[in-house]
Amino acid sequence: MAIGPDVSWDNVLDRTSAKSTTKTSCFLFLASFAALYFEMVVIRYLSTEIRIFAYLKNLALLACFFGIGYGMVVEKFPGRLKRLFPFITVGLFLLIAFAQFLHLTNLPIPADDYRLYTNQPIPPHSNLIVLVLWYISMLAIYLTAVPGIMYLVLAFFAVLGRLVGENLKQLPPLQGYGTNLAGSLLGVLAFTLLSFSEMSPAVWVAIGFVAMVPFFWQERWTLFAFGIVLCALSIPASHTYWSPYYRVTIDPEPPPQGWPVPAAFDIEVNHDFHQTIVNLSPEFVARFPAVEPNLIAKGRFDFPYRFVSNPGRVLIVGAGTGNDVAAALRHGATHIDAVEIDPEILRLGREYHPEHPYDSPKVSAFVDDARAYLQKTHEKYDLILFAALDSHTLLTAMSSIRLDDYVYTLESFTQARKLLSENGTMVVEFGSGRTFLSDRIFATLTRAFGVEPLAFYRDYPIPGIVCIEGAGAKSQAISGVTEISKELSAHRAGAILATDHWPFLYLETRKIPFAVWSVLLLFFYLAVSMMNRQVSLADIANREGSHLFLLGAGFMLLETKGVTELSLLFGSTWIVNAVVITAFLTMGLIANAFIMFRPVSRITSYACLLSVLLASLFVPYSLLEGLLPATKVILAGVLAGLPVFFSGLIFSRSFKEVDQPAKALGINLLGTVLGGVLENLVMVGGTQILGMIAIVLYALSAVCIRRAPARGTLWTKSIKSFSA
């Protein structure tokens, strides 16, 4: 089958078959780099432009891993994927790039058990028949668009997996695996650097395509496809910036007549409303008292100071572009510590805010996660303001936790309480409306402070609540706003508290929501369809295959566990992903090198692995608090990566003996898909369940290798070497 008119696909995969080991290693390194690099690119880009994947990012991760594993395991690569690869590439990236024009950005989830912050269509309520038809149409769109997007991701990564597998099988297993890990590590570091440097998707994709050119330099249709994608992604978008977390867009609103500059700027992140920069300076308000949105915003930002007449020292977490900072300055704050996780949003505030609050000598700005700052500071504050930290994305593709989940837990509120001065006040704002979210925040604050807060309903910028704890909560009823303290108090007994062990603020009950399990079923259907008649289940179902498969599942849970726990130590920032993935791949490299020169018995490796996992259930990372930053990062990386080192010893020892390294590694990658699926159980059992499931999976993998027959399997050596 030919991709282009002159060159066959087989030349792409077989071009390096007669090359030297060094050249083959270089091709494997490039293929491994491209596979993991594009995995991170697709997950980030897809979740930005098609918002459903921002809340179901685990789905994109599963599709990437399954595609790579499938490409390595399949005996005869499907001809349709060979022929259609240029079209798959163009289709995937152009569909993402133009999702807004194709009305895919706000794909609906036909369920309300998982709270999203996105501009989804609102169902009509006036007519039952219309409502039923609306839900049917939304379900049809959901069940059509999501599988289509997933199939493109699966197909694209199946080709990348094939490139890795074809080069891997030409090298000795451990040498090939070490090269694969090194390429993957560089891919992670490269994308992390680009993301932190606030590069655009055009740059992300261009670097990935450059890495793929050596495999396709004679395939003119594929190179043409690369060119089309890069041209499309290079089309500039006005007033759009790419932060480490978001696609940020700023649009000025028309200035009132007689005022030379805009009085407000609308900020969107990932195509959803985020905040509005407003001018509430005395000069502007006196001259234009009725201009919107400034008029309604004034009541919102001035509201906390109806309870705190002398703010003194103020801490604002989620400071954003500076509206709350400007309000604190106008009301006489002597010093303000402003914490904002996104450096680009902070930069826009410095540049565009009409009152320039961040230029004041009274203001200290910190680019940090709110929870991390609460844990590391030793200051005392007269006012602590949680300034509506609304989540628009997950922390990472490996976890169901959102960026702000750990900010609203019992432990976080308790820590904030310790930072209040003797007569200090804490104000928590949240865009939750009258929902279970309001009940949860009210109940969690009550447990943290021991008394119920004052609670008020507000409707700007979106319906939500304001809770007052501390000295300010002793104020009398405030006129002009609706107090809902009694209403929330009546619901408090039935509210599920948010804690560090169950931080799922946006999940109504302890269950896997429809939005998650429904797409997992769709993914399962696609996976089975692709594997049908292409992959022999006997390769996975036998004990040797099961051993590798379960090792992959356990590894994925270790990654999720590491990201989840280190988020409490460093906050939910980009550094968590970088530390965890870098530590894991580095530990894998060290373990692989160790086995190459000094094999370790599986009994010893399993004993150490299971012991470390058991200990991690009882030893919190919080013990590292108080250490110097560099020391804390190194020790956290070592502790998170130690289980991976011992599991890496086990895997490399087994991988050293395989007869078909590409298939063996592919089976291991397919196992990570199982681990990704099982990760969702954390929404039922809490974060501690991750370690427990990992222990079970690794124990089962030990049983499989212990009892495996000596011959007729993936291994050519005797399994009796288990205890050697």
pLDDT at 36: 93
pLDDT in tens, 176-227: 999 999 999 999 889 988 988 889 999 999 999 999 999 998 888 999 999 9
Indicate the residue among 442, 468, 494 that finishes a domain: 494
Model confidence at 6: pLDDT above 70: no
Ramachandran class of 462: left when φ > 0, alpha when ψ lies in -120 to 50, beta otherwise: beta
pLDDT (average), residues 486-496: 89
Indicate the residue among 191, 213, 238 that finishes a domain: 238
Q: Domain of 722?
A: 536-724
Measured CA to CA in angstroms, residue 529 lies from 9, 147, 151, 409, 448 at distances of: 23, 12, 10, 42, 50
Share of residues in the chain with pLDDT > 70 (%): 84
Predicted confidence band at 164 (pLDDT cuts at 50, 70, 90)? very high
**CA–CA distance, 154 with 173 (Å, rounded to integer):** 26
Residues 548 and 684 placed together within one structural domain of the fold: yes
| 260 found inside a domain | no
pLDDT at 391: 63
How many of the other CB atoms lie within 10 Å of CB of 474? 12
| 326 found inside a domain | yes
| 323 found inside a domain | yes
63 or 566: whose pLDDT is higher?
A: 63
| 287 found inside a domain | no
| 527 found inside a domain | no
Residues 310 and 179 placed together within one structural domain of the fold: no
Residues 228 and 334 placed together within one structural domain of the fold: no
The predicted model scores a pTM of 0.86
Predicted confidence band at 711 (pLDDT cuts at 50, 70, 90)? very low
At residue 403, the 3 state secondary structure works out as coil
Residues 551 and 440 placed together within one structural domain of the fold: no
Number of folded domains in the chain?
3
Report residue 471 as tokens.
């000295």
Mean pLDDT highest for which of 563-577, 643-657, 705-719? 643-657
Residues 431 and 574 placed together within one structural domain of the fold: no
At residue 337, the 3 state secondary structure works out as strand
Residues 484 and 546 placed together within one structural domain of the fold: no
| 294 found inside a domain | no
Residues 370 and 229 placed together within one structural domain of the fold: no
Provide the CATH number for the domain around residue 647: 1.20.1250
Measured CA to CA in angstroms, residue 632 lies from 5, 623, 625, 640 at distances of: 57, 10, 8, 12
**CA–CA distance, 280 with 285 (Å, rounded to integer):** 6
Residues 542 and 681 placed together within one structural domain of the fold: yes
Predicted confidence band at 390 (pLDDT cuts at 50, 70, 90)? low
Residues 696 and 583 placed together within one structural domain of the fold: yes
pLDDT in tens, 405-437: 888 999 999 999 999 999 999 999 987 766 788
Burial of 295 (0-12, 13-18, 19+ CB in 10 A): middle
| 578 found inside a domain | yes
Model confidence at 119: pLDDT above 70: no
Provide the CATH number for the domain around residue 428: 3.40.50.150
Residues 318 and 216 placed together within one structural domain of the fold: no
Indicate the residue among 223, 238, 253 that finishes a domain: 238
Residues 311 and 186 placed together within one structural domain of the fold: no
Handedness of CA 642, 644, 647, 651 (dihedral sign): negative
Residues 176 and 37 placed together within one structural domain of the fold: yes
| 665 found inside a domain | yes
